[in-house]
């Protein structure tokens, strides 16, 4: 069989396709690329997915582990060539069963391939069962060692001993096992059934004897219980007579309590006659209580009322000014301050400088009179300009000194803040006056209510008076209810008082009525149980049958068991003989597999290991150069152990699956460079006759092929 391509929606693979070539395919891919997922996908497509497997704490079942990450249904397709035919196999999810839908058809025509179905696909295409392929040509690093498997053993045995896989020896062994199972298999075999029947008959006989003894004891116990019942009944009658006398005393005591309650009720009724009615008292108490609460709340609110708020204080620049005057003053000062800042005195200064300069020029030219006439006014203008400058600076300083800041831009906001403070103070005063007026109005109303409800009394005294009146009415009501209750109690006791006669015989028991009743009930119940149990025993003894018939049936069953024991021993002897023959045949396949595995091992290790043996349980023994004895694989390095098992797997695959692909999943990661090159040369040679697929996370495998 040769695989052209695989397309998978499986685990992390989402509609991804892997195309393969004839012969050797080396796929160098990084970790988490999906190499192991492709290997599991190939097994699942050929042999199906075990949907019955359950996840455990340490591992996930394949149906959960390889559920598509995208949430899409699990599906896949493989295009391959089988016996010269190009075939496509498809599996898809069916309902809740992943890969439960199977289809196989000719790739070109689409015609169905009837010899393939979901159950036999892998075995028909590869010629072996799933476990055999997994232990032969499907080589993963995690399970390189070849473990013992019944299907693998059977196929190797049949192939070596008969040249085919008819399995006649296994058929005969199955027939012997079936006969032995029919004779002795758990509880369903003839021998276990006969022994069970014998045990049942012996149990019936023992049970019959035990039942007869129990029935005898039950009859004795019945007499004892009957006598005890009579004693308890006499004691119960004595207790009832004593109880009747006690009831009469309780009735007399209850009548006395009732008479005393009537007298108390009459006294309270006379006290309430001078009071307002019950309803009026209740209403006035409620009104007085509500008023007292309102009065206390108003008094507390008055005591907690704060003093009236003070008016807003004018800033120092605006003393004796209202907010409007303050804003006008701030604007006026700012404008005046700005005008004084203008350098108008520069005009006079420039004119003075010009006049003085002109006078100086004229004096220099010898025109003294004209020079003096021009210079003297210039000096006057100079003095005037300087005096104007000093006056303006002094006036500006005086204006700025009235404010907390020399920045004129802050003077008007200061006046505006004064206006806002004045407005807030006025609003606070208005709120205070409104609260005070509302409180005064409430106090005035409460005073009027106090006069109407309390008169000259304080609310507290009035409330106390009404509470006393209400308490008097409540006491009267309570006393009246108690009188009615005691009357009912007296009449009830009188009606319930028991009447009893003296017991027929002297009473010697000292149990209470409850204990006597419990003991009497127990005795009656025991008598019923004894009678019921005796009836059951008699019925069971009747059902068990006659003792003589049981003993005759036991003898017949013992005879049949003896014959079955002889038959079992004959079957066991035949099965042991067949097992010895099968073991002998099994030992024959080891040399054939061993020779081929030994050749592969010599190639992989460049001749270092010249000898290899294979045990019946697939255990390996090896002998290296300059060694005189065979040693188990536990003596070898990890890399050498991998090479030993790779050689064995390739030999088994050559014997059992000559046409199937050989798949390796990171199986060579512990090979050194030389043995890795030898392994790749060996796989390349094997690829001449079959398809070989090598998955690896390293680049060395591909480099070895390129170098060769």
167, pLDDT greater than 50: no
Collapsing DSSP states into helix, strand and coil, what is residue 127? coil
Residue 671 pLDDT > 50: yes
Q: How confident is the model at residue 280 (pLDDT cuts 50, 70, 90)?
A: confident
**108-115: which pairs have CB atoms within 8 A and are 24 or more residues apart?**
113/85, 113/87
Given a cut of 70, whether residue 630 has pLDDT beyond it is: no
Tokens of 220: 């004795």
Other Cβ atoms closer than 10 A to 696: 21
**59-66 long-range Cβ contacts below 8 angstroms, 24+ apart:** 63/98, 65/11, 66/10, 66/11, 66/37, 66/40, 66/41
The predicted pLDDT at position 334 comes to 81
Q: What is the pLDDT of residue 163?
A: 35
- Comparing CA positions, the residue from 556, 579, 578, 576 lying closest to residue 568 is 576
Q: How confident is the model over 661-669, as a mean pLDDT?
A: 89
> What pLDDT is stored for residue 148 in this prediction?
47
Asked if residue 518 has pLDDT above 60, the reply is: yes
What percent of the chain lies above the pLDDT cut of 70? Answer: 85
H helices within 162-189, ranges in order? 168-183
Strand order in the sheet with 620-624: 609-614, 620-624, 631-632
pLDDT at 575: 66
Of the candidate ranges 20-34, 249-263, 324-338, the one whose mean pLDDT is the lowest: 324-338
**Most confident stretch, 154-168, 417-431, 516-530, 600-614:** 516-530
Coil, helix or strand for 165?
Answer: coil
The residue among 102 and 626 whose pLDDT is bigger is: 102
In percent, the amount of the chain with pLDDT more than 90 equals 19
> 219 and 538 in contact (C-beta within 8 Å)?
no
pLDDT grade, residue 72 (50/70/90)? very high
Whether pLDDT at 335 is above 70: yes
pLDDT of the residue at 51: 84
Q: How far, in Å, CA of 197 to CA of 561, rounded?
A: 10
> Who's near 444: CB < 8 A, 6+ residues apart?
none
Length of the chain: 708
DSSP state of 363: H
Q: How far is CA 651 from the centre of its chain?
A: 51
Given this model, what pLDDT does residue 611 score?
72
Q: What local confidence, expressed as pLDDT, does residue 627 receive?
A: 64
Tokens of 549: 């018939």
pLDDT band at 12 (very low <50, low <70, confident <90, very high): very high
Q: At what angle do helices 278-303 and 411-454 cross, to 10 degrees?
A: 150
What does the pLDDT average to over 329-348?
76
Contacts of 193 (CB under 8 A, 6+ apart): 187
pLDDT at 188 over 90: no
Judge whether 622 and 684 are in contact, CB under 8 Å.
no
Most confident of the ranges 79-93, 302-316, 654-668: 79-93
Q: Which of 178, 134, 174 is closest to 152 using CA atoms?
A: 134
What is residue 392's predicted lDDT score, i.e. its pLDDT? 77
Of 253, 157, 137, 125, the residue nearest 579 (C-alpha): 157
What rounded mean pLDDT belongs to the chain? 81
Instruction: Report the candidate in 313, 190, 152 with the shortest Cα–Cα distance to residue 649.
Output: 152
Tens of pLDDT, residues 380-415: 777 777 777 787 778 778 877 778 887 888 888 888
Kindly tell me if the per-residue pLDDT of 515 is higher than 80. Answer: yes
CB atoms within 10 A of CB 267: 11
Q: Average pLDDT in the 654-663 region?
A: 87
How many CB atoms within 10 Å of residue 706? 9
With 80 as the cut, is the pLDDT of residue 69 above it? yes
CA distance linking residue 299 with residue 291, whole number of Å:
12
Q: How far is CA 459 from CA 139, 439, 601, in A?
A: 104, 19, 117
Output the six-digit token pair for 504.
């027929």
Two structure tokens written together for 23: 């012969």
- Neighbouring C-beta atoms of residue 161, cutoff 10 Å: 15
Looking at beta carbons, which pairs linking 238-247 to residues 24 or more positions away fall under 8 Å? 238/502, 238/503, 238/507, 239/512, 239/513, 239/516, 240/498, 240/500, 241/500, 241/501, 241/502, 241/503, 243/498, 243/500, 243/513, 244/497, 244/498, 244/499, 244/500, 247/493, 247/496, 247/497, 247/498
In the predicted model, is pLDDT for residue 173 greater than 80?
A: no
Q: Which of 117-121, 405-409, 574-578 is modeled with the greatest confidence?
A: 117-121
Q: Is 258 helix (H, G, I), strand (E, B) or coil?
A: helix
Helix (H) or strand (E) holding 139: strand 138-140
- The pLDDT of residue 322 is above 80: yes
Q: Which residues contact 156 (CB under 8 A, 6 or more apart)?
A: 586, 589, 593, 652, 655, 656
């Amino acid at each position: 069989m040769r695989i052209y391509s695989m397309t998978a929606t499986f685990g992390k693979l989402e509609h991804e396709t892997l195309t393969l070539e004839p012969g050797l395919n080396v796929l160098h891919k990084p970790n988490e690329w999906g190499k192991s997922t492709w290997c599991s996908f190939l097994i699942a497509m050929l042999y199906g997915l075990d949907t019955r497997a359950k996840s455990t704490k340490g591992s996930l079942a394949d149906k959960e582990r390889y559920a598509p990450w995208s949430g899409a249904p699990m599906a896949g397709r493989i295009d391959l060539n089988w016996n010269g035919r190009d075939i496509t196999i498809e599996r898809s999810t069916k309902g809740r069963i992943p890969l439960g839908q199977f289809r196989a058809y000719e790739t070109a025509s689409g015609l169905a391939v009837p010899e393939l179905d979901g159950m036999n696909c892998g075995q028909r295409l590869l010629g072996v069962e799933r476990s055999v392929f997994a232990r032969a040509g499907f080589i993963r690093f995690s399970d390189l060692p070849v473990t013992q498997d019944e299907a693998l053993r059977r196929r190797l045995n049949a192939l070596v001993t008969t040249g085919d896989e008819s399995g006649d020896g296994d058929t005969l062994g199955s027939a012997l096992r079936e006969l032995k199972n029919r004779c002795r298999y758990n509880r369903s075999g003839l021998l276990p059934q006969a022994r069970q029947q014998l045990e049942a008959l012996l149990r019936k006989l023992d049970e019959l004897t035990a039942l007869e003894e129990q029935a005898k004891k039950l009859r004795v116990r019945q007499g004892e219980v009957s006598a005890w019942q009579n004693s308890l009944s006499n004691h119960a009658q004595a207790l009832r007579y004593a109880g009747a006398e006690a009831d009469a005393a309780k009735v007399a005591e209850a009548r006395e309590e009732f008479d005393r309650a009537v007298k108390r009720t009459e006294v309270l009724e006379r006290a309430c006659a001078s009071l307002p009615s019950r309803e009026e008292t209740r209403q006035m108490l409620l009104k007085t209580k509500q008023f007292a609460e309102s009065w206390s709340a108003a008094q507390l609110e008055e005591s907690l009322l704060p003093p009236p708020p003070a008016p807003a204080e004018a800033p120092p620049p605006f003393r004796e000014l209202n907010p409007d005057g303050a804003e006008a003053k701030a604007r006026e000062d700012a404008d005046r301050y700005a005008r004084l800042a203008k350098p108008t005195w520069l005009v006079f200064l420039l004119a003075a400088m010009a006049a003085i300069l002109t006078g100086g020029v004229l004096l220099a030219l010898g025109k003294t009179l004209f020079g003096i006439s021009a210079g003297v006014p210039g000096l006057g203008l100079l003095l005037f300009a300087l005096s104007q400058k000093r006056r303006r600076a002094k006036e500006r300083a005086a204006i700025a000194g009235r404010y907390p800041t020399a920045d004129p831009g802050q003077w008007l906001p200061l006046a505006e803040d004064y206006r806002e403070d004045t407005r807030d103070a006025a609003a606070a005063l208005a709120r205070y006056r409104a609260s005070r007026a509302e409180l005064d109005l409430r106090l005035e109303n409460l005073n009027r209510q106090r006069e109407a409800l309390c008169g000259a009394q304080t609310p507290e005294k009035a409330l106390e008076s009404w509470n006393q009146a209400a308490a008097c009415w409540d006491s009267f009501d309570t006393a009246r209810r108690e009188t009615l209750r005691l009357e009912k109690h007296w009449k009830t006791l009188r009606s319930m008082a028991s009447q009893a006669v003296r017991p027929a015989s002297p009473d010697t028991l000292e149990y209470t009525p409850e204990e006597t009743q419990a003991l009497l009930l127990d005795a009656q119940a025991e008598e019923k149980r004894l009678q019921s149990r005796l009836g059951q025993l008699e019925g069971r003894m009747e059902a068990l049958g006659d003792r003589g018939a049981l003993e005759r049936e036991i003898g017949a069953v013992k005879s049949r068991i003896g014959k079955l024991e002889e038959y079992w021993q004959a079957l066991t002897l035949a099965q042991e003989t067949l097992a010895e023959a099968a073991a002998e045949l099994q030992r024959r396949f080891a040399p054939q597999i061993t020779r081929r595995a030994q050749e592969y091992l010599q190639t992989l290790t460049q001749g270092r290991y010249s000898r290899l043996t294979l045990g019946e349980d697939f255990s390996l023994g090896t002998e290296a150069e300059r060694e005189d004895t065979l040693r188990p694989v536990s003596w070898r390095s990890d890399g050498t152990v991998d090479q030993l098992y790779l050689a064995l797997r390739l030999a088994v695959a050559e014997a059992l699956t000559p046409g199937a692909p050989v798949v390796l999943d990171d199986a060579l990661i512990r090979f050194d460079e030389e043995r890795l090159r030898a392994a790749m040369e060996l796989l390349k040679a094997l690829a001449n006759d079959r398809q070989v697929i090598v998955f690896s996370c390293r680049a060395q495998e591909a480099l070895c092929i390129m170098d060769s």
